[in-house]
Amino acid sequence: MIVELARGLWTTFRALFFEKKVTVQYPEEKRPVSARFRGRHVLNRYENGLEKCIGCSLCAAACPADAIFVESAENSDEKRFSPGERYASTYEINMLRCIYCGFCEDACPTEAITLGDNYELSFYDRRDAIYNKDMLIVPVPQGGQLPPLVTEPGTFTRSVPAMKDPVD
Amino acid sequence: MAKLINLHINGTPVTVSEGTLVVDAAKKVGIDIPVFCYHPKMEPVGMCRQCLVEIGRPMIDRASGQPVLNEDGTPKLQFGPKLETSCTTPVAEGMAVLTETAKAQAGQKEIIELLLTSHPLDCPVCDKGGECPLQNLTMEHGVSESRFTFAEKHHGEKHVPLGDLILLDRERCIQCARCIRFQDKIAGEPVLSFYQRGRNTDIVSYSDPGFDSVFSGNTSDICPVGALTTVEFRFGARAWELKQAASICSQCPVGCNVTFNVRREASTGGGYVIKRAMPRQNEQVNEIWMCDKGRFAGYQYTESASRLKLDPAELDSTLRLAAAKLAVAQAETVILAGGRLANEDFFTLKQLAAALGAKTYLYSNMGGGEQTTTYGLSAGSNLGHLGKGDTVLVVAADLYNEAPLWHLRLKAAAERGATVIVAAARATKLDEFSQFVIRYAYGDEVETVKTLADKEKIGDAIKNSKNLVIFYGSDGLGLAGTAALAETCANLFASVAVDGRTATPNNGLVGVWSTPNRQGALEMGFAPCTNLAAEIAGKTVYVVAADPAGDDPALAEALKTAKTVIAQDILETTTTRLAEFTLPAAAYTEREGTYTNAERRVQRFYPAVPAHPGTKPDFALTAALAKGCGLELEGRSPLLVMNKLALSESAFRGISYASLSEMVEQWPIIGRGDLYYGGTSYENKLGLGQVLESKLSSGLAQSQPTIHAGLRMREDELLAVPVTKLYDNGITLTPAKLLQAHIQRFNGLILNPATALKLGLENGAQATVSLNGVTYPAKVLVDASISTGVVLIPRSMGIPLLEPTAVTILAQEA
Ligand code: SF4
Ligand code: SF4
Ligand code: SF4
Ligand code: SF4
Ligand code: FES
Mean pLDDT by 10 residues, chain B (814 residues): 91 96 96 96 95 95 88 89 96 95 95 90 94 93 82 87 96 96 97 92 94 97 97 96 96 96 91 96 96 96 94 96 96 96 98 96 94 90 95 97 97 97 96 96 93 93 93 95 94 76 81 96 95 94 96 94 97 96 97 97 97 95 96 96 96 95 93 87 94 70 54 76 92 91 92 93 92 91 92 92 91 74
CATH assignment of B116-230?
A: 3.30.70.20
The ipTM assigned to this model is: 0.89
* Residues of B whose CB is below 8 A from A94: none
CATH superfamily, with its number, for domain B369-512 = Dimethylsulfoxide Reductase, domain 2 (3.40.228.10)
- Span from the CA of A38 to the centroid of ligand 1 (angstroms): 10
Test mutation, A80, A87, A134, A159, chain B, max B CBs within 10 A: A159
If you measure CA to CA, which chain B residue comes closest to A75? B235
Q: Which residue of A has its CA nearest to B158?
A: A157
CB B219 within 8 A of CB B228: yes
Residues of B whose CB is below 8 A from A73:
235
Quickly count: other Cβ atoms within 10 Å of residue B502's Cβ.
Answer: 22
CB contact under 8 A, A85 and B121: no
C-alpha dihedral, B565 to B568 to B572 to B576, nearest 10°: 0
Contact B41, B184 (CB under 8 A): no
List of residues 6+ apart from B140 with CB closer than 8 A: B34
Query: How do strand B96-98 and strand B77-79 relate by DSSP bridges?
Result: unpaired
Closest ligand relative to B228 C-alpha: 4
**Does the beta carbon of A99 lie under 8 angstroms from any beta carbon of chain B?**
no
Report the gap between the CA of A20 and the closest CA in chain B (Å): 53
The Cα A78–Cα A80 span in angstroms is 6
Give the single-character DSSP code of B83: -
Write the residue in A74, A162, A165 that is nearest to B235 by C-beta: A74
B267 contacts in chain A (CB < 8 Å): 71
Residue of minimum CA distance from atom 2 in ligand 1: A101
CA B338, CA B550: separation in Å to the nearest integer? Answer: 13
CA B296 to chain CA centroid, Å, is: 12
In B, what residues contact A, Cβ < 8 A? 120-122, 124-125, 129, 149-151, 155, 158-159, 234-235, 237-238, 240-241, 265-267
Alpha-carbon gap: A143 to the closest alpha carbon of chain B (Å): 28
Cα separations in angstroms, B94 against B66, B67, B184: 13, 10, 36
Residues in chain B within 8 Å Cβ distance of A158? 120
CATH of span B718-811: 2.40.40.20
CATH 3.40.50.740 domain position(s) in chain B: 312-364+521-655
Flag if B122 and A74 touch (Cβ within 8 Å). no
In CATH, B4-114 is 3.40.50.300: no
The C-alpha atoms of residue B740 and residue B344 are separated, in whole angstroms, by 33
CATH 3.30.70.20 domain position(s) in chain B:
116-230
Q: What pLDDT is recorded for position B495?
A: 85
Which ligand 2 atom sits closest to the C-alpha of A72?
Answer: 5
Find the CB nearest A160 among B121, B235, B240.
B121
* pTM for the structure as a whole: 0.94
* Cα–Cα dist A16/A13, whole Å: 5
Which residue from B137, B128, B213 is spatially nearest to B169, judged by alpha carbons? B128
Q: Please state, in angstroms and rounded to a whole number, the distance separating the CA atoms of residues A43 and A59.
A: 12
Mutate to test the pocket of ligand 4, among B216, B225, B229, B676 (most ligand atoms within 8 A of CB): B225
State whether residue B358 is helix, strand or coil. coil
How many beta carbons lie within 10 A of that of residue B729, not counting itself? Answer: 16
Question: Computed from CA positions of residues B752, B754, B755, B756, in that sequence, does the dihedral angle turn out positive or negative?
Answer: positive
Per-residue pLDDT at B701: 46
Cα distances (angstroms) measured from residue A28 to each of A24, A25, A31, A116: 9, 6, 10, 20
What CATH code would you report for A41-141?
A: 3.30.70.3270
A157 interface with B at CB cutoff 8 Å: yes
SS3 B789: coil
CB B230 within 8 A of CB B165: yes
The minimum-distance atom of ligand 4 relative to the CA of B194 is 5
Distances in Å between the alpha carbon of B731 and those of B164, B251, B301, B507, B723? 21, 11, 8, 35, 17
From CA B262, how far away is CA B243, in angstroms rounded? Answer: 5
Nearest Cβ partner of B121 from A58, A61, A163? A163
Q: Is B124 close to A160, i.e. CB distance below 8 A?
A: yes
Give the other-Cβ count within 10 Å of B314's Cβ.
12
Task: Convert the pLDDT of each residue in A92-105 to its tens digit.
Answer: 999 999 999 999 99
Is the separation of the CB atoms in B174 and B115 below 8 Å? Answer: yes
What does each C-alpha distance from B720 to A112, B64, B452, B476, B748 come to in angstroms?
63, 77, 26, 8, 12
With an 8 Å Cβ cutoff, are A54 and B238 in contact?
no
| A132 interfacial to chain B (CB closer than 8 Å) | no
Domain ranges in chain A?
41-141
* Domain limits, CATH 2.40.40.20, in chain B: 718-811
The shortest CB-CB distance from B125 to any of A61, A159, A164 is to: A159
Arch. (CATH architecture) of B312-364+521-655: 3-Layer(aba) Sandwich (3.40)
- Greatest extent of chain A over all pairs of C-alpha atoms, in Å: 88
Residue A53 in contact with ligand 2 by CB distance below 6 A: yes
